[in-house]
Amino acid sequence: MFNEVLFLLSGLLTVFGALAVVFTKNLMHACVYLLASLFGVAGLYLTLGADFLAAAQIVVYAGGVVVLMLFAVMLTGGTVKDAGRYAMLKVPSMGNAKTFSIAALGVLVALSMTTKIILGIGRSYDASKELPAFTSTVESIGTLLVTDHVLAFEISSVLLLGALVGAVVISRPRKS
């Protein structure tokens, strides 16, 4: 029952976050909606039992890529006349029904993921039994990345190299 609820909430957050990225006109809002969508994907990984991938999704994508995108948007934001465009306090309520509903859905997914992890730890512990040997999936994932899935691994490295070169080109001072 809990996995089904987590799956539905994560799926809703992923789909609505992705649709909001596509249909929003504000680039800063698109980055925040992308963050919500990536958290939803982490919840979907968690329902599949891929705890390592869920943690990597949050750390790498939600933590790194979205922050990098926000810095890139703020660095290339425009002229001085556009400086007030991204101000946090435009209206006293700081949001509307759409932003509050997406934030509430994100909080529900985050709480559900945390609850699933904590309950899984509590259920698996039995003081009368001897603890089983620790098995890590990290080694098997690493072996698969450099053997069976080496093409995807190399394509992602080329993609990251392209992003790095693009960041250097964008941040280079312009000659006037």
Region of 133 (left: φ > 0; alpha: ψ -120 to 50; beta: rest) is beta
Highest mean pLDDT among 40-49, 64-73, 128-137, 165-174: 40-49
What pTM did the predictor assign? 0.55
Distance (Å) of CA 42 to CA 34, 84, 114, 116, 160: 12, 34, 12, 13, 21
Q: Read off the pLDDT of residues 24-49 as tens digits, 9 standing for 90 and up.
A: 887 778 888 888 898 899 989 888 87
In sequence order, the 6+-apart residues with CB closer than 8 A to the CB of 38 are 17, 57, 58, 61, 62, 65, 66
Q: How far apart are CA 115 and CA 110, in angstroms?
A: 9
CB-based contact 45:53 (threshold 8 Å)? yes
Domain ranges of the chain: 2-126, 136-176
**Which residue from 40, 42, 39, 54 is spatially nearest to 8, judged by alpha carbons?**
40
Amino acid (1-letter code) at residue 78: G
CATH of 2-126, one of 1.20.120.1200, 1.20.1600.10, 3.40.50.1370, 3.30.930.10: 1.20.120.1200
**In this structure, are residues 29 and 48 in contact, taking their beta carbons and an 8 Å threshold?**
no
